[in-house]
């Protein structure tokens, strides 16, 4: 019986996910690689975050989006699973908006992180 849990996300772009993890100073390695779990069990993932306890966190493509794959009993991050996903998702969204805006000819004129953790972003395009 597998101990792995899969948590759905709205993450669809691997490049933005990598940038989000880099912003959070989370080391990752590109897959496909095995995610190590309970009693030597593994699950394949497209991106793997190795933990010091030898139980990994992975992001695996399910055909529509990336799912977080991990044995949650051995979660060893500075945040809860929800807190981790909130931070990753926020940074992922920022990178997605920056990439899409740039491709459409917009430039960032202001970027500010607010006290509540939200990010204020102003972009503009000259015609």
> Which residue in the block uniquely carries the two structure tokens 């953790």?
117
pLDDT value for 2: 66
Tens digits of residue pLDDT in 67-106: 999 998 999 999 999 999 999 999 999 999 999 998 898 9
Q: Which helix (H) or strand (E) holds 73?
A: none
- Provide mean pLDDT across the span 23-33: 94
Q: Which residues contact 105 (CB under 8 A, 6 or more apart)?
A: 125
* Domain residue spans of the chain: 5-124
CA dihedral 107, 86, 120, 65 (to 10 degrees): 30
The reported pTM is 0.86
Q: Which helix (H) or strand (E) holds 7?
A: strand 5-8
pLDDT value for 15: 94
């Amino acid at each position: 019986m597998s101990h792995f849990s899969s948590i759905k996300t709205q993450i669809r772009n691997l490049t933005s996910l990598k940038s989000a993890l880099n912003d959070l100073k989370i080391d990752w390695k590109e897959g496909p690689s095995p995610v190590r779990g309970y009693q030597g069990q593994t699950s394949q993932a497209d991106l793997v975050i190795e933990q010091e306890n030898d139980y990994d966190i992975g992001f695996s493509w399910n055909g529509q989006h990336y799912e977080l794959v991990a044995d949650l009993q051995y979660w060893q991050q500075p945040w809860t699973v929800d807190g981790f996903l909130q931070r990753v998702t926020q940074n992922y969204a920022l990178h997605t908006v920056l990439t899409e805006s740039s491709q459409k000819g917009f430039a960032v004129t202001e970027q500010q992180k607010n006290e509540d953790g939200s990010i204020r972003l102003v972009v503009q395009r000259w015609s």
